[in-house]
Structure 1
Amino acid sequence: MVGRLLLRGMIVGALAGILVFAFARTFGEPLVDWAIGFEEKTAQAAGEAAEPEIVSRATQAGFGLFTGIMIYSTAIGGLFALVFSFVYGRISPLGARGTAVLLAIAAFVTISLVPDIKYPANPPAVGNPDTIGARTELFFIMIVASIVGMIVAIGLGRRLAARYGSWNGTIIAGIGYIAFIALIQYLLPSVNEVPEQFSAVVLWKFRVTSLGMHVILWTTLALGFGAWAERELPQTRYRSNATLRRA
């Protein structure tokens, strides 16, 4: 059962990757071209020599972009299916579709939205190359903290639900997660390396487009994988751990 779900997750992830690529190619790449042009003009004005183009821009925006997105989306689809197979029937009485949607929302908030609020995506020409290592570490620290906070919040919500009811338990756990994330984001250093002359409109559109790519990915996984899994698990609700292991 888990193997079939894994395969379905990877297939849906690949389909999501095609949609994400089309979106990124249409709306994201023109912004990247603008940013690269800005970077080149800034370098020329400073009298710096142009850097050699190791990989052509056409390859980056075409085959390179497609390959990277497809590998990432397919891998995320497989991981999504594995997590789904573990939590299905354990965290809520929802069916396959409901569980997939709930899981996708939690994953989007935890992995995409929360880290992006603190350290949003930047186009070329934004960011000091000397600090890329430190910025990457901070970004992954934010992701890990968000995942840990979400796991703790889910466990806390289940315990509180037994005492205060599902609705109240979920609200209390959600408030706890928000407070934890707010504290982590307050403690982590901020990063602001946007050049003064860089277009605020381009920067905003790039960040919205980057977040939109994640929305497409998780929405496709939620709806596509949920519908497919429902055909595999049509009537199963709140299965026991022993049943899951036998499957």
Structure 2
Amino acid sequence: MRTFSSLLVRGLIAGLFAGLLAGTFAYVMGEPHIDAAIAIEEAGAPTHTHSDDPAATEAEEEPLVSRNGQRAGLFLATSLYGVALGGIFAVAFTLLRRRLRTTSDSYAALGLAAAGFIGIVLVPFLKYPANPPAVGDPETITKRTISYLLLLVIGLLAVWAGVAAARWAEARFTEPPAWVRLAFGTAAFAVTVIAAYLILPAVNEVPGTFPATLLWQFRLSALGTQTVLWLLLGFAFAGLADRRLKPVGTVVPAATGGVA
């Protein structure tokens, strides 16, 4: 229990650290593209009809949260998300540690972070990439959200299928080379993902007049934010977990002083 509590605290710390730096990346690399997309949206928005009520006109023009408030909230959002993700990561590490087949807790943490990034971020992104303001139909938001969440779950299942297939090949063949295990694992992962891509509906609601360069700059910045988050979470947790799990009070030869 003490070990899990310590790992959980370290997961929360690693998540907070990763969330803050991911928010910094999003602020520097993503916010300019959001401002540009908002400018395009406002330029193409229909003119409001004239109203004799100044309060109603002001309510139509003023956003619920100002852009400065949104920028400040960005760091809060990424920090909270990072803390939550760090806690979940610590729980997953505790449950799966003995199944990862490595004697290094650092490698186990990095491998788990890589698997999480692929299943939770990369697989859904390739099918349903993020869209900036002025892109997307509000009437399809429920459909898009459900499809995205389904693909996120399938992404995790695809990672599990890849690992299971690689281990099946290892058990099926006598001392198979690494490329055989890799081939089986990759094939199982790819088949699962491709099947999901074909079954789930396609979503293409980008207006033809929206600049393609701005669209992909925004999408890459969104992917970069998630990459920074998972990369830093993996390395931070690996360092903290490895330090925590080193044996304390190990008996050493008497010539060196007894107990370390």
TM-score using structure 2 length: 0.85
Runs of 5+ consecutive residues of structure 1 not aligned to the other structure = 236-247
Instruction: Please say if residues 158 and 166 of structure 1, whose CA atoms lie closer than 8 Å, have aligned partners that are also in contact.
Output: no
Instruction: Please say if residues 104 and 222 of structure 1, whose CA atoms lie closer than 8 Å, have aligned partners that are also in contact.
Output: yes
Offset at residue 110 of structure 1 (A): 0.3
Given residue 243 of structure 2, which amino acid in structure 1 is its aligned partner?
A: R
Instruction: Please say if residues 9 and 77 of structure 1, whose CA atoms lie closer than 8 Å, have aligned partners that are also in contact.
Output: yes
Quick check: 1:95 aligned with 2:107? no
The more displaced of 84-93 and 105-114 is 84-93
1:156-211 deviations in Å (ceiling 9; x for gaps): 32232122337222430221111110111011111111111111111111111111
Q: Give the distance between the partners of 2:140 and 2:28, measured in 1 at CA.
A: 30
Q: Give the distance between the partners of 2:61 and 2:6, measured in 1 at CA.
A: 48
The match for 2:19 is: 17
Runs of 5+ consecutive residues of structure 2 not aligned to the other structure = 50-59, 248-260
The match for 1:239 is: none
The match for 2:86 is: 77
The match for 1:68 is: 77
Secondary structure class of the residue paired with 2:133 = coil
Given residue 112 of structure 1, which amino acid in structure 2 is its aligned partner?
A: V
Q: Give the distance between the partners of 2:198 and 2:108, measured in 1 at CA.
A: 32
1:60-97 deviations in Å (ceiling 9; x for gaps): 111x1111111111111111111111222322124011
Secondary structure class of the residue paired with 1:232 = helix
Q: Give the distance between the partners of 1:171 and 1:81, measured in 2 at CA.
A: 30
The match for 1:47 is: 47
Quick check: 1:220 aligned with 2:232? yes
1:97-117 deviations in Å (ceiling 9; x for gaps): 111111111111100001000
Cα separation, partners in 2 of 1:48 and 1:131, compared to 1, 3 Å? farther
**RMSD, aligned α-carbons:** 1.6
| Equivalent in 160, 176, 190 of residue 178 of structure 1 | 190
1:21-78 deviations in Å (ceiling 9; x for gaps): 11111111111111111000000xx33465541111110111x111111111111111
The match for 1:56 is: 66
Instruction: Please say if residues 161 and 188 of structure 2, whose CA atoms lie closer than 8 Å, have aligned partners that are also in contact.
Output: no
Cα separation, partners in 2 of 1:47 and 1:158, compared to 1, 3 Å? same
Offset at residue 215 of structure 1 (A): 0.9
1:115-149 deviations in Å (ceiling 9; x for gaps): 00000000110101111111111100111111122
Cα separation, partners in 2 of 1:110 and 1:3, compared to 1, 3 Å? same
Q: Give the distance between the partners of 2:209 and 2:48, measured in 1 at CA.
A: 18
Instruction: Give me the identity figure in percent.
Output: 37
The more displaced of 207-216 and 226-235 is 226-235
Cα separation, partners in 2 of 1:169 and 1:226, compared to 1, 3 Å? same
Instruction: Please say if residues 97 and 108 of structure 2, whose CA atoms lie closer than 8 Å, have aligned partners that are also in contact.
Output: yes
Cα separation, partners in 2 of 1:163 and 1:133, compared to 1, 3 Å? same
TM-score using structure 1 length: 0.89
Larger radius of gyration: 2
